[in-house]
Amino acid sequence: MSGATELTLGDLGERGIQERVLRPRYGALEGFGDDSAFLAAVETGCELVATTDSCPTPVVNILAEPDLFHAGWLLATINLSDLAAAGAEPLGLVVNYTLPKTTTVAEFERLLDGVDACCREHRTKVAGGDIRDGATMQLTATAIGRCVPGSRLRRSGAQEGDRLLLVGSPGYLWAAALVKTGRASLPEALADELWRRACRPDAQLKAGRILAAGGLARAAMDVSDGLFATVRTLCEANGLGATMTGEFELDAIVAEVARQSGLHPFELAQTWGDWGLVVATRAEDAGLVVKTLWGEGVPAQEIGTMTAGPALTLGADGPAWEGTAQERFSASSWHGGEAATLVAAVLGHH
Amino acid sequence: MSGATELTLGDLGERGIQERVLRPRYGALEGFGDDSAFLAAVETGCELVATTDSCPTPVVNILAEPDLFHAGWLLATINLSDLAAAGAEPLGLVVNYTLPKTTTVAEFERLLDGVDACCREHRTKVAGGDIRDGATMQLTATAIGRCVPGSRLRRSGAQEGDRLLLVGSPGYLWAAALVKTGRASLPEALADELWRRACRPDAQLKAGRILAAGGLARAAMDVSDGLFATVRTLCEANGLGATMTGEFELDAIVAEVARQSGLHPFELAQTWGDWGLVVATRAEDAGLVVKTLWGEGVPAQEIGTMTAGPALTLGADGPAWEGTAQERFSASSWHGGEAATLVAAVLGHH
């Protein structure tokens, strides 16, 4: 080892990592060190749900410094976002990290900081996990949650005529990418705020619980691969199509970046990385649902109507909606790349 | 693609995999295709536990054909074994597979077959999961379980004088390795039986539940890294030491391999890969616990006594017990290798 600040996980070994890194951080958890992590004592009836996702390389790490904090935050967000789509309350996260032996302890701490910070934000915790060494870093987590019996949200359940809502504030990540690659520029304070939001996407857990508890949603799904892929999947799950308004009122910072970049607001609203929810509600409830969410501090807008389908169109009798969708195990499966190439691939050349 | 039998995951793409492989197998599950998998409806109070583990390359794949069935079975076993050590009843598994695009559909089906077969054996199921493509295969799962309130088994809770029991039948995996590398030979039928057991290690879920329900264990841990590492960790968690008997009555097939290989039975009992449990019980209960387990068809033997410690010895006032322990993030961290090298590393040259 070359000095205290460069101490690596390989220097510590598994037992050293356990005692010097993990115990100081997680040792007070009930069940710390046991074969199985203690998640929660459940006293009343509930439906349990679970979801697992691996963390891709965060786009913000490609745009700027490769700080593992962002990977940690993202890992927690993508898993909690799936619980949000079910209307579930998180009971905890179980993490599984494969890390090279050359990972420094400082880098590892940043990863843990990111996961823990995101969990705290949502009043949940890392309940347990496993680490092992391997040639390539791989970060995986499983989130476990509980739903009030009968309230669990699913992808199916929508009907023709239902309104589609987008819950959350889209466009922050790719607006930040446009600024970083010089296609827009903002005063420093606004650029900082944009970057902060891009680095800390927000799983819509509160919205999911409100929608589930109030019976306000007939179907829901989180936006993990972009709006087009999400709406298409939601439509397929219900044997329906959709007519999109093609309009979206972006947050002011994001709207300014769209304007400078020559992008229509809906183009930026279609991007991924902000972990919103797409929700189908009864037409007659749509206004109330949007108002209810805003009243709780959660942004939501109507973006379309579900149709007999199967077509996805922009406006009634309008042209086909041709969004981009990344698909795993295909040529579009995304594994990182240069910032400028990325922006071009996601937003096109304008 | 070069023909139906050589169809790869990259040929199908994510949506093709979902429709042609996963839906036929898992489509009847409640919540199939949703963002979060449905685990279970819980009606009475319980304590929830969760555990996650990645699957190493199965030793049986190094000894013989690289059939992904074995990796699938092992992945389920190592996770269910942690639930066994908690005395928990499994509610389900959530799986996370990273697979190269070149993985054939037939190989993928074998992986799923292995996981599903192991789950069926323990009356549990794959509730959901995630797949993505990557350069290197990585198989991770999370098992979620429930315990009767107050009965959960932990690593801590043992006291001086407690007896240590080994639950399960150790030595099958490494006896099979000795046969495959020519250090022992058996009649074909026995060799087949040995190999079958080596390929299908058995998580001790039934034993865990019996011990937990009856309040028969004060501490428990599964043998994932060998008996020495397990007993050492269990002792450290309780601030104790242990005096081991140094004896073990192996199953007849395994004993015969030990004899031919010039190994003392305890040497083969110390190996890993069979997923037994080490349990601390009150001295006065030890006989009854062993009898109770045998009565339920679960093998168990007394292997030592917990002492004021911290020494681990063979026999009272005997020599130090110096077992081998693989430690992750260290030079002994194991990532596969040649069969003969492996056997030498685990069992030494005799």
Selected for mutation to probe chain A from B329, B333, B334 (highest A CB count within 10 Å) is B329
Residues 6+ apart with CB under 8 A from A65: none
What Cα–Cα distance (Å) separates residue B213 from each residue in B77, B87, B210, B341?
Answer: 22, 8, 5, 43
**DSSP string covering A229-292:** HHHHHHHHHHT-EEEE-------HHHHHHHHHHT--HHHHHT-SSS--EEEEE-GGGHHHHHHH
Selected for mutation to probe chain A from B34, B79, B99 (highest A CB count within 10 Å) is B34
> Which strands form B300-307's sheet, in the order they lie side by side?
B219-222, B277-281, B163-167, B300-307, B241-244, B312-314
Alpha-carbon span B194 to B179, nearest angstrom:
9
Asked if B5 and A321 touch (Cβ cutoff 8 Å), the reply is: no
Determine what percent of chain B is predicted with pLDDT higher than 70: 93
Q: What is the pLDDT of residues B221-231, one digit of tens each?
A: 999 989 999 99
Within an 8 Å CB–CB cutoff, is residue A91 touching chain B?
A: yes
Domain B4-147 has CATH 3.40.50.170: no
Within an 8 Å CB–CB cutoff, is residue A342 touching chain B?
A: no
- Of A123, A142, A288, A282, the C-alpha closest to A206 is A123
Strand-pairing partners, residue B307, are: B241
Within an 8 Å CB–CB cutoff, is residue A131 touching chain B?
A: yes
Q: Which amino acid is at A53?
A: D
Q: Which architecture characterizes domain A8-28+43-147 according to CATH?
A: 2-Layer Sandwich (3.30)
The ranges assigned to domains in chain B are 4-147, 163-347
Alpha-carbon span B151 to B87, nearest angstrom:
8
Position B289 scores a pLDDT of 97
Q: What is the pLDDT of residues B100-135, one digit of tens each?
A: 999 999 999 999 999 999 999 999 999 999 999 999
Closest Cα of chain B to A125: distance in Å? Answer: 13
CB-side exposure of A13: number of CA atoms within 13 Å?
A: 10
Closest Cα of chain B to A228: distance in Å? Answer: 15
- Strands A89-99 and A126-133 come out as parallel
- Picking from A33-42, A71-80, A277-286, B148-157, which range would have the lowest pLDDT averaged per residue? A33-42
Q: What is the pLDDT of residues A86-119, one digit of tens each?
A: 999 999 999 999 999 999 999 999 999 999 999 9
A224 is in an annotated binding site: yes
A202 is in an annotated binding site: no
Within an 8 Å CB–CB cutoff, is residue A130 touching chain B?
A: yes
Q: Is the pLDDT of residue A339 over 80?
A: no
Q: Which of residues 269-298 of A touch B (CB under 8 A)?
A: none
Residues 6+ apart with CB under 8 A from A252: none
A155 is in an annotated binding site: yes
**DSSP string covering B7-46:** -BHHHHHHHHHIIIIIHHHHTTSTTTTSSSEEEEEE-S-E
Alpha-carbon span B215 to B281, nearest angstrom:
9
Considering the four listed CATH numbers 3.40.47.10, 3.40.50.150, 3.90.650.10, 2.30.30.140, the one that applies to the domain covering A163-347 is 3.90.650.10
Tokens at B107, concatenated: 């190989």
A285 is in an annotated binding site: no
Please, which pLDDT band fits residue B343 given cuts at 50, 70 and 90? confident
Cβ–Cβ below 8 Å for A152 and B38: yes
What is the mean pLDDT of the segment spanning B51-58?
Answer: 92
Q: Which residue numbers of B belong to the known binding site for Mg(2+)?
A: 35, 51-53, 82, 130, 222, 225
Q: Which of residues 211-230 of B touch A (CB under 8 A)?
A: 220-222
Q: What is the pLDDT of residues B232-266, one digit of tens each?
A: 999 999 999 999 999 999 999 999 999 999 999 99
Please, which pLDDT band fits residue B66 given cuts at 50, 70 and 90? confident
Tokens at B229, concatenated: 């590492």
Alpha-carbon span B253 to B270, nearest angstrom:
16
> Which strands form A46-54's sheet, in the order they lie side by side?
A126-133, A89-99, A138-147, A46-54, B37-42
Please, which pLDDT band fits residue A303 given cuts at 50, 70 and 90? very high
What is the mean pLDDT of the segment spanning A3-15?
Answer: 84
Cβ–Cβ below 8 Å for A49 and B38: yes
Position B1 scores a pLDDT of 42
Cβ–Cβ below 8 Å for A95 and B10: no
